[in-house]
Amino acid sequence: MTSPAPSKAAPADKETHKPSNFLRQIIEKDLAEGTYASRRWGGSPGDAAHHAAGQPDPAKVRLRFPPEPNGYLHVGHAKSICLNFGLARDYEGVCHLRFDDTNPEKEDTEYVDSIKDAVQWLGFDWHNKGASGEENNLYQASDYFDFMYRAAEYLIESGNAYVDEQSAEEMRHNRGDFGHPGTNSPFRGRTPAENLARFREMRDGKLADGAAVLRAKIDMASPNINMRDPAIYRIRRAHHHNTGDKWCIYPMYTFAHPVEDALEQITHSICTLEFEDQRPFYDWLLDRLAEGKLIATPHPRQYEFARLNLTYVLTSKRKLAQLVNEKRVSGWDDPRMPTIVGLRRRGYTPEAIQLFAERIGVTKSDSWIDYSTLEGSLRDTLDPIAPRAMAVLDPVKLVLTNWDEVMGAGKLDDCSAPVHPHHEDMSKRQFKIGKEVWIERTDYEQTPPKGFFRLFPPHINASKQAIAGSKVRLKYGHVIECTGAVKDANGKVTEVHATLIPDTKSGTPGSDAIKVKGVITWVGVNDAVEVEVRLYDRLFSVEHPGTGDKDFLDELNADSLKTVTAYVEPSLTNVPAGTRFQFERHGYFVTDLVDHQIGGEGKPVFNRVTGMKDSFSK
């Protein structure tokens, strides 16, 4: 019995209504006005001449998802993946997966592989149909280093860039601030020939790391500090995972990113709001390169949207790495982590994350999304497909003291239940009831509070009235009447006792003759499967961790993980890792992708994905 496998993101049905947002409106306007209709595509990224020799681009729009391979992607990246690949799908375009690998000291092929896996697991792909067959739109910025160097030399030769040899401290001081204009570098007046020679010395390793940078020559008095001659190349002797030791100078991200977009013929470059102030430089750079006929026109345009701010979640790569390095969590794939690998191990589905991304929408203003929205998307996708099962997470033994007399000594009675209450085609699950069953410890109260409809013994209430022991139904089984409990020397209940009421088995004639208010779940002692259950909750105890003066490590939720030994029904004996279930009454659970074992010395391991409803804030 397994849950259905995640499906790939299907092409948008033309009849399906998609909620509008400002990005969709921009794309639809550009399509209506034919803004990019004249574009040509050379079959692969390239300069103006390369694309001019190509065919009209079969893709109506080209978008990209450009992660830096310096860590594991998190739920915020998942929103961006769904947005970019989803828009490309909906508007008959393509979306490129591009690795912005311009920072060799922090990048690793481990992260490259994890990013590719995350994109595909979410239901998307970078393989697209092109004019001459399938296109593999998987790229990396380092493949364009030769062109970037060529573009840098062009900027120098055209008087739009210069080599600055001020110290880092001098550059910071001379940059000015929001209230004061910057001061021109003493090296700003060099001739293009002098700058070109010095830049080639940087390239050839004749200058030390940090001795010089190449800067765009724009306006040191600009009110936008990002336009005050930003650095576009620095010296960095570092081994690159793709280009090796070929380069000792590397482009800055703000320079590389627009160049990458232009070479890939991106139409709409969608990024988060923190890049809004960088847009003037994005346009300035591409305008200069277009003037020199280095890139095709019309060139890409950048648009910004609000990043995902999710309550009870941190998405800082540095802080997430600290949690891993200090072993506050078990790794990047710890089910409490907001990483895509963590969400996947927790039991989230691609469909749930896509639904979440659609529900929260796209805006240009920052706001907080409550974590319950993410959990609600998961419940709404799991409820229609998750097989049901019974589990007892805090077990105490229930003994039916008259079982032998009513049913026969040692007899086990067959019970059944639907695998899913709304899918008859998923058949039935089978289990047995006998004299002893496991029930939840919280299902028994010696002195029941008002409104308690589960198990309690005969007692005298506060009004001096004699109250009979409660009658409840063991779900899918018989009606029983509680007679009391056995306790140890510390007063802890070790056994609950009850009597079986004959002829009340679910599904048999007359079984509903006795009406009860309480129904409890159970697992038969005879055929129960002992398992480890990890009860995961939110990693942080406050809505906005990492803000204010408090150390985010002091805001960790001490109850974010509780591990218990539990019992589940026999239908879960041989389920593979990654299988999701609804444990009736408790919520949604998944067999752990790493530690779950069937047979041998190991044991089955289930993770709680989410409860039946949001109870964290209560």
CB 98 within 8 A of CB 64: yes
From the candidates 24, 40, 60, 68, give the one annotated as an active-site residue: 68
Amino acid at 243: T
**Radius of gyration of the CA atoms of the chain, in A:** 32
Cα 83 to Cα 26: distance, rounded to the nearest angstrom: 14
- Pairing mode, strands 580-583 and 518-520: unpaired
Contacts of 476 (CB under 8 A, 6+ apart): 415, 416, 417, 506
Each residue of 468-496: b (16+ CB within 10 Å) or e? ebbbbbbebbbbbbbbbbeeeeeeebeeb
- Owner of token pair 């198990």: 455
User: For the sheet containing 231-235, what is the strand order?
Assistant: 161-164, 213-216, 231-235, 249-251
Q: At what angle do helices 145-157 and 253-263 cross, to 10 degrees?
A: 110
- Pairing mode, strands 471-474 and 518-520: parallel
Catalytic, 68? Answer yes
Query: What SS3 state is found at 376?
Result: helix
From the candidates 307, 328, 397, 441, give the one annotated as an active-site residue: 307
From the candidates 24, 60, 234, 317, give the one annotated as an active-site residue: 317
CB 205 within 8 A of CB 248: yes
Catalytic, 307? Answer yes
Each residue of 220-232: b (16+ CB within 10 Å) or e? bebeeebbbbbbb
**Eight-state DSSP code of residue 517:** S
Going through 434-474 in order, the beta strands assigned E by DSSP cover 436-440, 459-460, 466-467, 471-474
Of 240, 216, 109, 229, nearest in space to 154 by CA? 216
Cα 91 to Cα 16: distance, rounded to the nearest angstrom: 13
**Eight-state DSSP code of residue 614:** -
- Owner of token pair 């907080």: 368
Contacts of 405 (CB under 8 A, 6+ apart): none
Cα 578 to Cα 557: distance, rounded to the nearest angstrom: 26
Cα 300 to Cα 63: distance, rounded to the nearest angstrom: 10
CB 27 within 8 A of CB 303: no
Instruction: Count the neighbouring beta carbons within 10 Å of the beta carbon of residue 41.
Output: 24
Structure token pair of residue 174? 């001379």
**Eight-state DSSP code of residue 234:** E
CB 454 within 8 A of CB 482: no
Structure token pair of residue 350? 């691609």
Contacts of 456 (CB under 8 A, 6+ apart): 444, 445, 446, 447, 448, 467, 469, 470, 482
Catalytic, 293? Answer no
Q: Which residues pair with 392 in a beta bridge?
A: 567
* Cα diameter, the chain: 105
Structure token pair of residue 21? 């947002």
Of 177, 113, 144, 168, nearest in space to 295 by CA? 144
Please list the active-site residues.
68, 307, 317
